[in-house]
Each structure stands twice: as structure tokens, then as C-alpha cells.
Amino acid sequence: ETGVTQTPRHLVMGMTNKKSLKCEQHLGHNAMYWYKQSAKKPLELMFVYNFKEQTENNSVPSRFSPECPNSSHLFLHLHTLQPEDSALYLCASSQEISGVHEQFFGPGTRLTVL
Amino acid sequence: AQSVTQLGSHVSVSEGALVLLRCNYSSSVPPYLFWYVQYPNQGLQLLLKYTSAATLVKGINGFEAEFKKSETSFHLTKPSAHMSDAAEYFCAVSGRGYSTLTFGKGTMLLVSP
């Protein structure tokens, strides 16, 4: 595997289900991100991890719970979601080079909440 | 604080025509600027980036962008559109040492034969 991978690619869940999204980066980066991409809205940054420590949480509801066990893996645990949470969830990673963080994105997980 | 404005949610061009996608930014620090492309059902792929070196930046697939500080702009251009360029394009801004990007709303490029 190369780059940033995400599983599953598609997920359909009911509002009472609990599921997890997985992201893995094979680039040796030290920062990882979760984004939400909804139709007709800008990309929304959800969480940022630097060296496994959460450095940013953009007022995300507690029904989304991130986990970063090491610098290569990032999870997003989902529970009691709402239909408006249906979106494409993108994971990204980066490594600072001369002050620049160029982010590399995974293909995303298309989530549908029924 | 940083923000990005992309003018036009949709841009339509004919194959072979000039592509121009507009991006204006606001930043309280010297900006780093990025253009990403997203094809259907895929993640974002970096096209090019400006990191305070040359103001005219060349990227992949024949795209280029020019940083104009006086106009706070970073417009994306390509001399001749191909059908394969049809996708959504995102402009993003960051700053030195900032790990986060602020994205625009995106512009969908439609290419007709």
C-alpha cells in the first residue's frame, strides 16, 4: 500500500449503530487529519493530530470520537449519528518541511446515515 | 485568521479553451497557497503550491498559478482544456508552521467537446 488509505470506502449505518472509520498513512508523516465533506459546503476540518497528540478539535459533536494510537493510524469512532452526518469523510497526513505542511489525502469513506 | 474565496461554483469551457479558476485569499501571516483537484469518488490530489519562492508556480497536468500579493489572488490556469480536466478544484491557504489548511468552497470545472 502507498500513500494514504481509508477503510471502508462506503458505509451505511443506522442512527443507533456504532462503527469506526480507519485511516492509515504509509508516508512516514507525523500529522494526521480528519475532514468532513458535505455537498455544497466547504471542507470542514474536524480533528488534527501531531505526533499522536490531538492539537485541534473544531467543535465537533461528541458522537464523533477520534483515536490516534500511533503516527501511522487514525480512527474515527461513530455512534448515534444523525442523517445530517452523511458525508464523505477524508483523512489526510502531512510532514512539515521548511515550515510547509503539504497534506496528502486518502480516497475517503462515503458515509450514509439512515 | 485565514479565508479563501473561489469565484464561481461552476465553470464551463470547451475542450481546447483556456481554463481560468479564480481564488482570492485573506491571511494575517504570509500565506502558503495550494490548489487541489478532486475527481469523482476520490480524495484530493495536490496540483501545485506556492511557498514564497517563485510567484509563478507550475503544477501537474499542465496547470499553473500566479501569486499576486497586491491582488491577494492565486488564480489557476491551463492554456488548453482536456476532457480529463473535468473535476472539482479547491484552493487552500496556510501559513509558515501552520499544519492546518483553510479551503475554499470549490469550483466544478465542466469541459464540453
Candidate from B43, B96, B105 with C-beta closest to A107: B43
Nearest CA in chain A to B51: A100
Residue A3, Ramachandran bin (φ over 0: left; ψ between -120 and 50: alpha; else beta): left
**Which residues of chain B lie closer than 8 angstroms to A108, CB-CB?**
41-43
**Element holding B68 (H helix, E strand):** strand B64-68
Cβ-defined contact of A100 to B99 (cutoff 8 Å)? no
Does the beta carbon of B45 lie under 8 angstroms from any beta carbon of chain A? yes
Rounded to an integer, what distance in angstroms lies between the CA atom of residue A109 and that of residue A104? 15
Four-CA torsion B47, B87, B42, A109, nearest 10 degrees: 120
CA-nearest residue to A55 within chain B is: B99
Query: What are the backbone angles phi and psi of residue B85, rounded to the nearest 5°?
Result: -80, -10
Residues in A closer than 8 angstroms to B104, CB to CB, are 42
For range B85-98, the mean pLDDT: 89
Q: Could you count the other beta carbons within 10 Å of the beta carbon of residue B11?
A: 18
Model pLDDT, residue B47:
96
- Closest residue in B to A41 (Cα) is B105
Per-residue pLDDT reduced to its tens digit, B77-89: 999 999 999 999 9
| Among B28-37, B59-68, B96-105, the least confident range | B96-105
Cβ distance of B94 and A101 shorter than 8 Å: yes
Pairing of the two strands B10-14 and B107-112? parallel
B32 contacts chain A (CB < 8 A) = yes
List chain A residues with pLDDT less than 50.
none
Residues paired with residue A77 on neighbouring β-strands, in sequence order: A20, A65
- Range list of β-strands (E), A1-114: 4-7, 10-13, 18-25, 31-37, 44-50, 53-57, 64-70, 73-79, 87-94, 96-97, 100-101, 104-105, 109-113
DSSP-derived 3-state class of residue A42: coil
pLDDT over 70 (residue B101): yes
Q: Respond yes or no on whether the N-terminal peptide bond of residue A8 is cis (omega within 30° of 0).
A: yes
Summarised one tens digit per residue, pLDDT across range B43-60 is 999 999 998 778 999 999
pLDDT score for A54: 76
Query: Residue A95: closest CA among chain B residues belongs to which residue?
Result: B99
pLDDT of residue A1: 65
Amino acid at A77: H
Q: How far does the CA of residue A43 sit from the closest CA of chain B (Å)?
A: 6
Name the 3-class secondary structure at A85.
helix
Q: Is B90 on the interface with A (CB under 8 A)?
A: yes
